[in-house]
Amino acid sequence: MDPLSKPRETIDRLDREFVSLLAARLKAVREIVGHKQNNPDVRLRDEERERQLFEIWAREADTHGISPYFAGRVLREILTWSRRDQERVLDSRGSTDAGTRSVRVGYQGVPACYSDLTIGKVFASRPIARLERIGFRGFAAAVDALEAGEVDYALLPIENTIAGSINEVYDLIGTRHVTIVGEEVWPVEHCLLGLPGAKLEHVRTVRSHPVALQQCQKFLDGFVGVTAESFHDTAGAAEAVARGGDPTVAAIASEDAAREYGLVVLKREIADHAINITRFLLLGRQPEVFDVRRPAKTSLVFAVNHRRGALLECLKSFDAQGINLTKLESRPQVATPWEYAFYADIEGHVSDVRVQAALEEVRAHTNHMKVLGSYPRRVESERERAQIESMISAVTPAAEVEAPTCPAEPAAPAKKAAKNPNLKLCSLREDAKRTLVDVSGVVFGGERFVLAMGPCAVENRRQMMDAAELVKRGGASVLRGGAFKPRTSPYAFQGLGFAGLDLLVEAGRTYEMPVVTEVLHPEDVERVAESADMLQIGARNMQNFALLKEVGRSKRPVLLKRGMSATIEELLLAAEYIMAGGNHRVVLCERGIRTFETATRNTLDIAAVPVLKARTHLPVIVDPSHASGVRELVIPLAIAAAAIGADGVIIEAHPNPSEALCDKDQALTGDDLSKLVAQLKPILASQGRRL
């Protein structure tokens, strides 16, 4: 008997139970929707309730020995789906044909192209009986069909996180008689597709849309002897490969396209950047009504008159009403050279009083203005994303510790240093406004205290994944890990280099944390910056000016550590080097200095935190691991850092410290991390801050 058949039977049975449990859960959700439907004052989303659910799941998962983080991700999917289901019920309220309506949607491309796949996603949560998708050759043809009443909607891509805005679509929405009724996002996952039986090494021609070819440039460059050929779309290229029957020809398209045209995936994840998302607009002929409690977005197009400051006045009108602008795009106006149409997306519905007041104001500064539509917002705002993330990771039990009171903003030190005129960019300005440094969604310098944690060095895949899971559970929002290690001895482990960086990035992606890693050589900066979210300049390199200039040219934020014999002034001058190069996202790190004292690895200059805060607007964090070199001192020093007003800490942790290849004596364990969080929480709460 096949040894796998029994466990597989069990899995099949459990999966069936699992699905029926999901259905029962959804039924309960619908009872809640019924209540919300009849009570317009009840909020659609109850964050407190969601937080409780994450806690319940995390606790249950833990008792069953499953990762609470993994459980949190499953719950997130379930909640997303429940919310969409709720929306479907709420949107169908009042419409007589809900559930019986047949809908035709136009798109550009052929079946299984990314637009077609997204149509499936959009209408999965809409109350319709039948969905017909009609592919057109171009964007304009789809809009023509919409205007002529041949289709009910058109779904067109408006922007991509790598390729940018799709100009033709902007021009269409600005000039045609259509209105935006929805938006949706689709994560693009390019694969190399070939005929069944084809071999990767035999491929000689790769076809796809030019943008897709460009997004997989590095993969194609490393693929010797292969020519790339442009095709009008990705799925169309897949279809042509299937029709052609030549096993040396492959296409870049989605896995769904492979299924649609009977191809196989020869290689996955071939895009240069892991994050590749396309945003689509759903266009209709008439505005549509939706529940006012849903977060909305409004798009508009306007042309400013040629007076100085006219555009600024328009933008100020949104700010004055507290309205967030999510996108601004300009397009030339064909009939009037050097005049531009501005397309703006703002948060809020056109019927909101604040939006109306802002638009009234904008009208006064424009020659022309048109609202292109108000529709439910799909792109989560940063705040919402961070909120969900914090629910998943902040499940450590609350501490039962007496809360001391410590101000987060410490009093300026009595002894004021003379102002150094060379600190032009990093000095605290008159208005004392602090800089927030955003590292792929994690903000340093704001009300959240950042925990950047991970192993000293990336050692192997297993260790890195375990370490990432450990620190995520321990409340980390940034993952650290050294791929290039500056070691005092040439015989010590030097790090895995770029292979280590790949492992770090994989772990960061799996546990959804941006990664920070040290870069040692100016010539490596560009390559490290392609995948790391933050570049670390180590203590030994704080005055490597060639390296500082190179990271100054980079677009990635920089974590600048204080040199072990550097003064605070020298640290600031090093930051100035980076900022003078154009990179203003610098976070400073006090990591201990060399003194006559040998009881600890270095001497933590804790006073450097308030001194720096009084002199610079940049965020300041502390590294208690390298400062002390002793596991038992890491938590007390981290607490001291929080108490004195640091913006975060960077801490080393390891799944198995005794076997760490680097800095084993200072690495924290999982138990240490829960103690750390339990002790940090009340201090931060007393300062009005949180993790």
- Kindly tell me which residue out of 482, 500, 648, 657 binds ligand PEP, with binding defined by CB under 6 A: 482
Say which entry of ligand PEP, Mn ion, none residue 591 contacts (CB below 5 to 8 A, set by partner kind): ligand PEP
Helix (H, G, I), strand (E, B) or coil at 490: coil
Q: Does residue 626 bind ligand PEP (CB under 6 A)?
A: yes
Residue closer to ligand PEP (CB basis): 300 or 535: 535
Long-range contacts of 157-161 (CB under 8 A, 24+ apart): 157/114, 157/115, 157/278, 157/279, 157/280, 158/183, 158/279, 158/280, 158/281, 159/278, 159/279, 159/327, 160/188, 160/211, 160/276, 160/277, 160/278, 160/279, 161/275, 161/276, 161/277, 161/278
CB of 505 to ligand PEP, least distance (A): 17
Residue closer to ligand PEP (CB basis): 154 or 520: 520
Residue closer to ligand PEP (CB basis): 194 or 538: 538
- Taking residues 580 to 599 in sequence order and writing x for each that binds ligand PEP by CB under 6 A, - otherwise, the string is -----------x--------
Say which entry of ligand PEP, Mn ion, none residue 518 contacts (CB below 5 to 8 A, set by partner kind): ligand PEP
Structure tokens at 152: 């009910």
Give the residue from 64, 127, 56, 53 showing the smallest Cα distance to 90.
127
Q: Does residue 559 bind ligand PEP (CB under 6 A)?
A: no
Q: Where are the alpha helices (DSSP H) in 125-274?
A: 139-147, 167-175, 210-215, 217-221, 234-244, 255-261
Amino acid identity for residue 413 in this structure: P
CB of 622 to Mn ion, least distance (A): 14
**Span 416-475, contacts to ligand PEP by CB under 6 A:** 456
Cβ atoms of 234 and 186 closer than 8 Å: no
Say which entry of Mn ion, ligand PEP, none residue 539 contacts (CB below 5 to 8 A, set by partner kind): ligand PEP
Q: Is 280 a catalytic residue?
A: yes
Say which entry of ligand PEP, Mn ion, none residue 552 contacts (CB below 5 to 8 A, set by partner kind): none
Residue closer to ligand PEP (CB basis): 39 or 488: 488
Residue closer to ligand PEP (CB basis): 370 or 521: 521
CB of 563 to Mn ion, least distance (A): 16
Give the residue from 504, 511, 512 showing the smallest Cα distance to 485.
504
Residue closer to ligand PEP (CB basis): 114 or 484: 484
Q: Quick one: how far is CA 113 from the chain centroid?
A: 24
In the chain, DSSP finds a helix count (H) and a strand count (E) of: 22, 25
Structure tokens at 273: 């950047």
Q: Does residue 518 bind ligand PEP (CB under 6 A)?
A: yes
Rg (CA), the chain: 28
- Kindly tell me which residue out of 209, 561, 613, 681 binds ligand PEP, with binding defined by CB under 6 A: 561
CB of 660 to ligand PEP, least distance (A): 12
Q: Which residues bind Mn ion (CB under 5 A)?
A: 456, 663
- Taking residues 349 to 388 in sequence order and writing x for each that binds ligand PEP by CB under 6 A, - otherwise, the string is ----------------------------------------
CB of 204 to Mn ion, least distance (A): 47
Cβ atoms of 381 and 347 closer than 8 Å: yes
Residue 252 φ then ψ, to 5°? -100, 120
First to last CA, the chain: 53
Say which entry of ligand PEP, Mn ion, none residue 561 contacts (CB below 5 to 8 A, set by partner kind): ligand PEP
Residue closer to ligand PEP (CB basis): 330 or 600: 600
Angle 218-468-55 from CA coordinates, rounded to 5°: 125
Please choose, out of 201-209, 297-305, 536-544, 569-577, the segment that lies near ligand PEP by the rule CB under 6 A: 536-544
Who's near 90: CB < 8 A, 6+ residues apart? 33, 36, 37, 44, 290, 291, 294
Set 280, 290, 342, 449: catalytic member: 280
Q: Does residue 109 bind ligand PEP (CB under 6 A)?
A: no
**Which residue number places its CB atom closest to ligand PEP?**
538
Set 118, 179, 234, 278: catalytic member: 278
Helix (H, G, I), strand (E, B) or coil at 510: helix
| Residue entry with tokens 């198995």 | 656
Residue 676 φ then ψ, to 5°? -60, -50
Structure tokens at 430: 């008159």
Q: What is the DSSP string of 60-117?
A: HHHHTT--HHHHHHHHHHHHHHHHHHHHHHHHTTT-TTTTT-EEEEEEESSTTSHHHH
Q: Does residue 539 bind ligand PEP (CB under 6 A)?
A: yes
Q: Please state, in angstroms and rounded to a whole number, the distance separating the CA atoms of residues 539 and 85.
A: 52
Angle 546-549-552 from CA coordinates, rounded to 5°: 150
**Which residue number places its CB atom closest to Mn ion?**
456
CB of 500 to Mn ion, least distance (A): 14
CB of 627 to ligand PEP, least distance (A): 8
Q: Does residue 601 bind ligand PEP (CB under 6 A)?
A: no
CB of 485 to Mn ion, least distance (A): 8
CB of 457 to Mn ion, least distance (A): 7
Query: Which residues are catalytically annotated?
Result: 278, 280
Given the rule CB under 6 A, which residues bind ligand PEP?
456, 482, 486, 518, 538-540, 561, 591, 623, 626
